[in-house]
Structure 1
Amino acid sequence: MLCISQLVELNNYIEEVESLGYTVYGISPSDPMSHSAVMDGEGLDFDLLTDVDVQFGSQLGFIDFDDEVIYRGYTAVNPETNQMVTEIDYLVGENALDVLKVLEDL
């Protein structure tokens, strides 16, 4: 789950992420029209997916129903080994170099 400023910052590193073999998607409970407006308005080079039923977010620990909280962060799956990591990181875009290191090590 990401905010717009973090999506824009992460977009600056899209080539580096893709060069490691990963595909980037942003996912949130927002509706597809909102996502389309953000992608077009901000010039994002990756797709935003809708999780209106919050199944994906809750399954990966980004949503806490008891505390009624949605956390920001990322999940990465190595396309060659299927190893997976999930991190809660409110500044995932600003911490893109740290994310790249995680992806390299995964």
Structure 2
Amino acid sequence: MTVLRSLLLFALAALAEIGGAWLIWQGWREHRGLWWIAAGVLALGAYGFVATFQPDPNFGRILAAYGGVFVAGSLAWAMVVDRFRPDRWDLLGAAICLVGVAVIMYAPRGNG
């Protein structure tokens, strides 16, 4: 159950961070206005809190692992929202990142 909770928190963090950045991009680059930018800033602020709910107590480990989730999540967001079509190298890179997440976060650890 701890792994499932951790994975859900990573997904929520990715949604908040990627969505927040996308909202700011839309507000500024696509000229949608300050409300989009403000919503993006709020989403990015929410992202900052999500990691604090991870069961692992090590900030560095969580942030390092989240980097892999961010890479894969960014491609997934682009596919769904922006209709981006990743090539096989994008997909391979994302898969490698997710393997890294699994190793960093969920590998069995001893006492030393």
TM-score (norm 2): 0.27
Question: Could you say which structure has the larger radius of gyration?
Answer: 2
Write 1 or 2 for the structure with the bigger share of helix. Answer: 2
- Structure with higher RCO (Cα < 8 A, 6+ apart): 1
Write 1 or 2 for the structure with the bigger share of strand. Answer: 1
TM-score (norm 1): 0.28
